[in-house]
Each structure stands twice: as structure tokens, then as C-alpha cells.
Amino acid sequence: MTYFKMFMNIFYLLAFFSQQWGLTLALNFQCSDVNSMHSNNQEVSSRLRALEEQMLQVQSLLQGGTRPSYTTVQGYPEDCEEIYKNGTRVEGIYAISPDGRCPFFVHCDMTNGGWTVIQRRINGNVNFFRDWDDYVHGFGDVDGEFWLGLQKIHRLTQGGSQIYFGITNYDDTTDFAHYQTFTVHGAATKYRMNVDAYGYQGSINELFTFHDNMVFSTYDRDNDVHATANCCADHGGGGWWWKNCYKLGNVNGIYGKMTSGGLVTVTSTLHRKNGPEKRRPPRRRVG
Ligand SMILES: [Ca+2]
């Protein structure tokens, strides 16, 4: 490569990043929810991670690859799966927009095909004993422990999604539970959740459909169906689609604490990914 070509390529890279950085800043001014989960330092870190993804796309372009074909507003990918399918394999933080509205940052797990992580607990540093507003808007750090927030989870899952629970038990053994159908509805429904056992795969018995069609509860919003108990407050204070009270799970409960009546977890991760088909599969017949 001649010096001239190298200079032109570097100039092109700088121009592209300048354009993308400006776009990100402009969008952040318009979208207050983008900033809700992050301190200033965390935001700078997240933006740099997002730029890493953009850099990989530019490198592909310079090497004769195809132009990125993200489908949503102003070039933001719909989710981690779309980033993965465009050739990126680097796990980390990326900006996405699942519905063309304000983009936000997520942690992408790229080891199994591009999963968008919606909850993560790894060390107990983040308090999950939170009120309704925190569970709606999200809390923690997407580079560490966090709950992404019901509004964003709704935006991610309303078109159809799968969910995968990666679980580390109290005795350090691991389990998983993978559902083909998972949807969280909007605020007007109190973020009602639907999950289906059709196609279930897991190392544990199928438990999550116990919570099918439940609305979300926090310690200050008792929306469970238990007439006398506040399931959330009585089981560690973590928000969930409580029923009367839970099977799977208390994944937002007290970190590392063995609790009665449910799955014992110290680490759990939920993912979102587009389902192989958008239509809801038929319910499995039970007798
Ligand atoms: Ca109750």
C-alpha cells in the first residue's frame, strides 16, 4: 500500500468516527433514557466499546467487505444478534435500537451467536433490592452487574424472542434453561410476561412457565396473586413476575443466599435473541 493510500484510509477512518461520535452525542441529548444507567465514566467506557464495533465494520469495508446492513434508525443494530450476523465476535458493550427509537447500551454475549444480556449477576456488588421505578428504568452497570430495565426489555422482546438462563448454583455447579418464546408487554400491562414451554431445553426441570402471564412486582408494588403475602418483599426484595410466589426464580433476590421454595442461584444471566419464528408456537398438550 502506498503512503498516499494509507493516508487516505486513515483520513477515511477518522472522518467516519468523527461522524459516528457526533451522531451518538446528538442522540444522547435527545434520549434521556440512554443516560439513566450510567455514570459519566461508565458512559465514556460504553461509548468506546460501541466505537470498537464500528471500527470493526470500517475495517471490513476497507478490506473489501460488504457495507454494514443494519436495519434500524441511523445505522444502529437491532440487537446483539444482528451485530453478530454482521461479523463481529467481540463480547462487550454496544449501542442498539430494537425498534428505531432512542438507542441504548447493552452487553452482548457473542460466544453463542449474539445474545443480548438483560440481567447479569457475577459478584454481588450491585444491590437488587430496588423499587418499581428502578426495575422499570434499569440499574447497575452493563459492564458488570445490572438489570436492563423493563421498558427496554419490552422493546427488545415485543417482536418475539428467546430467553436463556445461565445459572451458577450455591455449590458452584451450573445449570441452564432455554425457552423459545418470551415476551414482556408494555407499561399499561404492568409489564406482563408470557413464556411457553414449547421447545424447552434445560439441565433442570421446566419451571419458568409457572410465571407465565404474571405482571411484574417489586417490594413497593405487590402485583402478585398471593392474597395475603407480598412475595417480593418476603423473598429478598428482588423484582420479578411473582405469582404465589415463585419457582424460577428468585434470580433477582439476595445474592448468594439459599432461599426456600425455589432455585438456588448465585449467578444468573438472561438473554434475548430473536426467535426462529415470530408467531407464537402452539401450547404443548398436557394431560
Ligand atoms: Ca400479594
Please state the domain extents for the chain.
3-272
Of residues 71 and 236, more confidently modeled: 236
pLDDT value of position 113: 83
Cell numbers of 54, please?
A: 464500528
pTM above 0.85, yes or no: no
* Residues in the chain, total: 287
pLDDT of 189 over the 80 cut:
yes
What separation in Å is there between the alpha carbon of 229 and the centre of ligand 1? 5
What separation in Å is there between the alpha carbon of 195 and the centre of ligand 1? 21
What separation in Å is there between the alpha carbon of 235 and the centre of ligand 1? 12
CATH topology of domain 3-272: Gamma Fibrinogen; Chain A, domain 1 (3.90.215)
pLDDT of 155 over the 60 cut:
yes
pLDDT of 261 over the 50 cut:
no
| Residue 270 CB burial class (10 angstroms; 0-12, 13-18, ≥19) | buried
pLDDT value of position 160: 84
Q: Which residues neighbour 53 within 8 Å (Cβ) at sequence distance 6 or greater?
A: 83, 88, 90, 92, 94
End-to-end CA distance of the chain: 70
pLDDT value of position 201: 94
| Three-class secondary structure of residue 157 per DSSP | helix
What separation in Å is there between the alpha carbon of 215 and the centre of ligand 1? 12
What separation in Å is there between the alpha carbon of 258 and the centre of ligand 1? 22
Taking only the tens place, the pLDDT of each residue in 33-77 is: 554 544 566 667 666 766 776 676 566 556 655 445 555 555 688
CA 75 to chain centroid, in Å, comes to 20
Contact status, residue 222 vs residue 230, Cβ threshold 8 Å: yes
What separation in Å is there between the alpha carbon of 242 and the centre of ligand 1? 9
What separation in Å is there between the alpha carbon of 151 and the centre of ligand 1? 23
What separation in Å is there between the alpha carbon of 121 and the centre of ligand 1? 26
Number of other CB atoms surrounding residue 215 within 10 Å: 17
What separation in Å is there between the alpha carbon of 252 and the centre of ligand 1? 18
What separation in Å is there between the alpha carbon of 222 and the centre of ligand 1? 5
User: Can you say whether residue 234 is alpha, beta or left, with left for phi > 0 and alpha for psi between -120 and 50 degrees?
Assistant: alpha
Q: Which residues surround ligand 1, an ion (CB under 5 A)?
A: 222, 224, 226
DSSP class of 189: G
What separation in Å is there between the alpha carbon of 103 and the centre of ligand 1? 35
CA distances from 58 to 13, 22, 173, 246 (A): 7, 17, 41, 47
pLDDT value of position 253: 83
Q: How confident is the model at residue 202 (pLDDT cuts 50, 70, 90)?
A: very high
Mean pLDDT of 211-238: 92
Find out whether the peptide bond into 245 is cis, omega within 30 degrees of 0: yes
